[in-house]
Copies of this chain bind each other. A is one copy, B any other.
Amino acid sequence: MLTLLSPLTRKLSAYVALSPGDLDILARFHKRRRSFRLGHELVHEGQSHGSAFVLAKGWACSYKMLPDGERQIVDFQVPGDFIGLRSILFRTSDHSAEAVTRIEASEVLASDILDSFAQAPRLATAVLWAASRDEAMVVEHLVNLGRRSADERMAHFMLELGARLRLVGVGDATGFDCPLTQYHLADVLGLSAVHVNRVLRHLREEGLMTFQKGRVSFDDIARLKQLAAFDPEYLDQGRPFLPAPGA
């Protein structure tokens, strides 16, 4: 049953047991579904009246442009994630987002959010949870840049991606298909592409993980978690936390 649900529904169901009424309202978040080509800019920093999207298939990334033309990738989005939620909550978008692969995504308007909150407060809590979880991931990326070695950063980042994907039914404990380039990894981890290459080789030679031909393989996930001091609690993705009303 769960596999028939959209990735967003599946993700939010990790937090609240959604009622049939909640699910009907959530379905409205999926009605304007479109395909976008690789590289399509979905959200533009500084744009007013922007859109948000719910990602159904493929990968996207959110980033900030610096005055010198450099870019800092803040996070990647995988199926079930919101893209550009702040661009409909804020007057102008504080970041940009683009498609990393060909994607399928549904546009969400500010009115969809407001209407759904008015009709389904539990769904509102679940959206707040999803946004807070996104923030918890940005916090970990900040810790990556501020405090972790290059090996630790890579290990932590890949373990996070693996856990996020498993929540929406993609990949498993052995690994996941990953469309990212070494330039993407360099950009999000604050390393040079050459350094990324060296780190990946080192992790492979140590028998911890392999990233080859578009696939991340966890060769020894226990030791990889130990290296990164990876504690997945910040992803908060166990059994539903809020039971069904009356349950």
Complex CA gap A206/B94 in Å reads 29
- The reply on A66 being an interface residue by CB < 8 A is yes
Within 8 A of B (CB), among A51-76: 64, 66-67, 70, 72, 74
Tell me the nearest residue of chain B to A116, going by C-beta: B121
- Chain B residues with Cβ below 8 Å from A95 are 136, 139
- The reply on A127 being an interface residue by CB < 8 A is yes
- Chain B residues with Cβ below 8 Å from A136 are 86, 90, 94-95
Within 8 A of B (CB), among A208-247: 229, 231, 233-234, 236, 238, 241-242
Interface readout for A179-196 with B: 1 if CB under 8 Å, 0 if not? 000000000001000000
Q: Please report A residues at the B interface, Cβ cutoff 8 Å.
A: 46, 64, 66-67, 70, 72, 74, 85-86, 89-92, 94-95, 113-114, 117-118, 121-122, 124-125, 127-129, 131-136, 138-143, 145-148, 190, 229, 231, 233-234, 236, 238, 241-242
